[in-house]
Amino acid sequence: MLRTIFTRAMSSKSALVILAPGAEEMEFVISADVLRRAGIQVTVAGLENSEVVKCSREVIIKPDASLEDVKNNDFDVIVLPGGLGGAKAFASSKIVGELLKKQESANKIIAAICAAPIAFDSHDIGLGKKITSYPAFKDQLSTKFKYIENESVVKDGNFITSRGPGTAFDFALKIAEELNGADKAKEVAKAMLLA
């Protein structure tokens, strides 16, 4: 019995969702929630520390740990929620840059929604990939990436991007599909009355 539980825990996929002040709370919560429903082990890491984070609409969220505490762990996906304040913090963070480069080198999934893809630009990852973002960042991102406007979620290799709060379910379900398969993603979507 113990061996079975241990094997199950060891085979589970993992996600790191980074939370910074000014993050868009819908994108954060929907991503973390959907991934957990899909059986993915989600670690919520505060960019600055493990204290409560005030999001863009003043919702307060308590991370599981600080990013510093988990930076040496391996994750199957790193998720960057949007929100202008959070996205700017990701873009200027040395530790986020190091983690994203490590993830890209390992050919593991990097997912960003809304304004968060500006971190790809500032840390020079995913260059030349097809991506999308909140429309206001099209001009900034079009110089280094193949910018896609007419899709709510864009996947190119190990990069997954999405447009904003209204596309957060599609974004999270796409990550779940990549990690645990299309059947699991459909099961989760159906249970949430999205399918």
51: number of Cβ within 10 Å? 9
114 carries an active-site annotation: yes
156: number of Cβ within 10 Å? 16
* Active-site residue, from 70, 80, 114, 176: 114
Helices 25-37 & 182-191 angle (0-180, nearest 10): 110
Nearest to 93 by CA among 73, 110, 116: 116
Label the pairing between strands 159-162 and 109-113.
Answer: parallel
3 state SS of 154: strand
Q: Distance between CA 98 and CA 150 in Å, rounded?
A: 31
Catalytic residues: 114
